[in-house]
Chains A and B, each alone.
Chain A
Amino acid sequence: MMTLRAGWIMTQRELAHWVRQPWSPIFGLLFSIMLLLVFGFLFGGAITVPGGGDYITFLLPGMLALSMMFGVETTATAMANDARKGITDRLRSMPIGSASVALGRVGADMANSAVELFVLILGGLLIGWRITSDPASIALAVVLLLLLRFAMLWIGIFVGLSFRGEGATMAVQVLVWPIGFLSTAIVSAETMPGWLGAIAAWNPLSATASAARELFGNPTGITEGPLADWAVWLALAWPLLLTAIFLPLSARAYRRLRA
């Protein structure tokens, strides 16, 4: 109860940041929209989707998944900043548990990402993306996307607590790009060289992107392989596995601040 309450207070802190500095989240949204436009219109004309289908319709679920993955950067930066500025130490000297600090992050970042998802979906619909499935599938797609964000959250907390220098934050900001692109989020794995396509297909991001495509009733760009049959299950399993690994690691990193 105390933990939930403290977690909520920490979430409110983040919400208050939005009110104080609305440009920061707005800029984040504009960035996602820019990426969407760059790939949708600048590069999109040159890309064909294996198995047929409109590229914008193929791209959009991928961009949603990509923006969830990029959230790892937000989380890691916020954790590292608090540690660097001594706020983490102040919280640790107060009678509140580590779970509250984590819960605050969960609340703030999930709220942030939910808004981002909503805006991107609206933006997609405006540029011609169409959803052709039933409400239950749409809901499941949104849940799976948020589940990926949830897994990224724990990676972000772990990274932010373990590597506190500004360099580490930069490393995360740079690394998300190759990891994000080496997936089926933007292009189908089947257009890549065989070995690269295999790596991309096993990227957790690809599972979520493919599952979202399937559930929104969009072209998947997949004609064979595990993603063709098991995308939804993989999109469930991958984030759960990542959470199972990084949640305990985050807890350990928090305890190790005492070392």
Chain B
Amino acid sequence: MNSLTADGLRKTYGKTAALDGFDLAVPSGVIHGLLGPNGAGKTTAVKALATLIDVDGGTAQVAGYDVRGQAAQVRRRIGLIGQHAAVDEILGGRQNLVMFGRLFGLRKAEAQRRAEELLGVFGLTEAAERPVSAYSGGMRRRLDIAAGLIMTPAVLFLDEPTTGLDPRARNEVWESVREIAARGTTVLLTTQYLDEADQLASRISVMNHGRVIAEGTPDELKRQVGGDRVTVTLPPRSLVPEIAEKLSAAVGAPAVVDDEARSLTFEVGAGVGALADIVRGLDKVGVAPEDLVLRRPTLDEAFLALTAGSPSPAPPSPAPSSSAPSSSAPSSLAPPSPAPPSPVPPSPVPPSPAAPRSASSSPASTEETSR
């Protein structure tokens, strides 16, 4: 039984198609990730499913009701958590929850009881009386999520819930999302971060230009994207091509060379082992690297891989240098490392202790050997 289905949704703003044949099928009780870059149409999709906007074409059902014809029934069964923490900043946390509870139709006493419960669940009891404007970003987000859960919705929409949060606050939000799903609510989570979708979602739809371009479990997608990347930045005046060749041999993977940045990037299956190989290789050629970073594929790389479709070489990849991730938000996926030269590889691993590292043996992939 699907809690969410969308079939060929279309929505055009002027000449841009924000949704261009958007399809989705999400079974009940799971977390489904909707992954895509800025402007891919994620928010438009969420707004269409949450009955906030009228689509131009296609059909969608949420919790068994048609979003176009039965909007009122849909609204009784959903929670929406948008990109801004949509809570009243002047009021306290408790006041917010009671107000929204009463607006949902709860009687005052009921709304108060529910507010207490949610404040407890989200660790906000102590801050309940403080005005929301004095909350930290993470607390505000948690209150926002709590407000979306007052009626224990069948379907919860979370639109980029961790954008702009520091790593600690992000972990808090992730924890909340997992708990929500554990209680049986279907969650549609949009995100720009592969890592976030990986952490939370059981299935991911990758979205670009208003439609889903790939779908699968995180592992399936990662197999398509390829394994971890190791980037070595060489000191000035190195013989880059020569070193690239030797390291390639040591790692057993071709190097993507960026002459400008004097960096070599290798796609490696199991990152940590490869890191050791590279360090040994560097030792052998007697080069002390300026920087050495182990990281997950960036979203850019993921998209290139996913949109490439065929094994033919992908179009010129965006310079996979350590300074390039284009997203300005703190990317948990590819920590930009303008870090000072350090002999120890800065841990690019997202602050999640149990990050399931992809152990896939990067299949003959879209990696390109540009030289």
Chain A contacts to B: CB under 8 angstroms:
2, 6, 9-10, 12-13, 16-17, 20-21, 84-87, 89-96, 100, 257-259
Taking the closest CB of chain A, its distance from the CB of B159, in whole angstroms, is 9
14 new A-B contacts at CB < 8 Å, known A93-B79, A95-B76? A9-B103, A16-B95, A20-B90, A85-B85, A85-B86, A85-B89, A86-B83, A86-B84, A89-B86, A90-B80, A93-B52, A93-B80, A95-B75, A95-B104
On chain A, the residues within 8 Å of B304 by CB distance are none
List residues 58-116 of chain B with CB under 8 A from any CB of chain A.
Answer: 72, 75-76, 78-80, 82-92, 95, 99-100, 102-105
Pick the 9 closest A-B CB pairs, nearest first.
A86-B86, A86-B84, A93-B80, A90-B86, A95-B75, A86-B82, A258-B54, A95-B76, A87-B86
**B53 at interface by CB-CB < 8 Å:** yes
In the complex, are the beta carbons of A86 and B85 less than 8 A apart?
Answer: yes
Q: Which residues of A contact B84 (CB under 8 A)?
A: 84-86
Pick 22 A–B contacts, CB within 8 A, sort by A: A2-B105, A17-B90, A20-B90, A20-B131, A85-B85, A85-B86, A85-B89, A86-B84, A87-B86, A89-B86, A90-B80, A90-B148, A92-B52, A94-B75, A94-B100, A94-B103, A94-B104, A95-B75, A95-B76, A100-B103, A257-B53, A259-B53
Identify A257's interface contact among B50, B52, B76, B87, CB under 8 A: B52
Contacts of B177 in A (CB 8 A): none
Minimum CB distance partner of B55 in chain A? A258
Q: How far is the CA of A12 from the CA of B90 in the complex (A)?
A: 13
Number of B interface residues at 8 Å Cβ cutoff, please give it.
33
Considering the chains assembled together, what is the distance between the CA atoms of A96 and B105 in angstroms? 9
The reply to whether the CB of B147 lies closer than 8 angstroms to some CB of chain A is yes
B87 CB contacts on chain A under 8 angstroms: 87
Determine the distance from Cα of A91 to Cα of B91 in the docked complex, in whole angstroms: 16
Contact of B147 among A9, A17, A90, A258 (CB under 8 A): A90
Contacts known (A16-B95, A86-B85, A93-B80); A6 close to B103, Cβ less than 8 A: yes
Does B51 reach chain A (CB closer than 8 Å)? yes
> Measured between alpha carbons, how far is A93 from B100 in the docked complex, in Å?
12
A89–B52 contact, CB under 8 A?
Answer: yes
Residues of A with C-beta under 8 A to B47: 89
Q: How far is the CB of B97 from chain A (nearest CB, A)?
A: 12
Shortest B118–chain A CB gap in Å is 15
Beta-carbon nearest neighbor of A85 in chain B: B84
* Cross-chain contact B83 with A259 (CB below 8 angstroms): no
Measured between beta carbons, the chain B residues less than 8 angstroms from A84 are 84
Q: Give chain A residues whose Cβ lies under 8 Å from the Cβ of B131.
A: 20
Residue of A17, A89, A91, A257 touching B103 (CB-CB under 8 A): A91
Contacts of A9 in B (CB 8 A): 99, 102-103
Contact A259-B76, Cβ < 8 Å, known A17-B91, A90-B147: no
Task: Report Cα–Cα, A170/B104, bound state, in Å.
Answer: 34
- A259 and B78 alpha carbons, distance in the complex (Å): 20
Q: Give residues of chain B (229-260) contacting chain A, Cβ–Cβ below 8 Å.
A: none
- Which A residues lie within 8 Å of B72 (CB)? 95
Are A13 and B91 interface neighbours, CB within 8 A?
yes
A contact residues around B86 at 8 Å (CB): 85-87, 89-90
What residues of chain B lie closer than 8 Å to A93, measured between beta carbons?
Answer: 50-52, 75, 78-80
- Contact of B82 with A21 in the complex, beta carbons under 8 Å: no
Closest chain-B Cβ to A79's Cβ sits at a distance in Å of 14
CB distance from B256 to the nearest CB of A (A): 41
Q: How far is the CB of A161 from chain B (nearest CB, A)?
A: 14
Q: Name the distance in Å between B162's Cβ and chain A's nearest Cβ.
A: 16
What is the CA–CA distance of A259 and B18 in the complex, to the nearest angstrom? Answer: 12
Chain A residues with CB below 8 A from B83, complex form: 86
Residues of A within 8 A of B79 (CB): 93
Whole-angstrom CA separation of A31 from B229 in the bound complex: 62
Taking the closest CB of chain A, its distance from the CB of B14, in whole angstroms, is 11
- Name A81's closest neighbour in chain B (CB-CB): B89
Given A86-B82, A93-B75, A93-B78: A258 and B52 within 8 A (CB)?
yes
How far is A46 from B86 in the complex, measured between Cα atoms in Å?
51
A93 to B51, CA, bound (A): 7
Q: Cα distance A94–B131 when bound, in Å?
A: 23
B105 touches A13 (CB 8 A): no
Among A17, A85, A86, A91, chain B packs the most CB atoms within 10 A around the CB of: A86
Q: Is the CB of B82 within 8 A of A90?
A: yes
Q: Distance in Å from the Cβ of B357 to the closest Cβ of chain A?
A: 36
A2 to chain B, nearest CB (A): 7
Q: Give the residues in chain B near A16, CB-CB below 8 Å.
A: 90-91, 95
Provide the residues of chain A in CB contact with B78, threshold 8 Å. Answer: 93
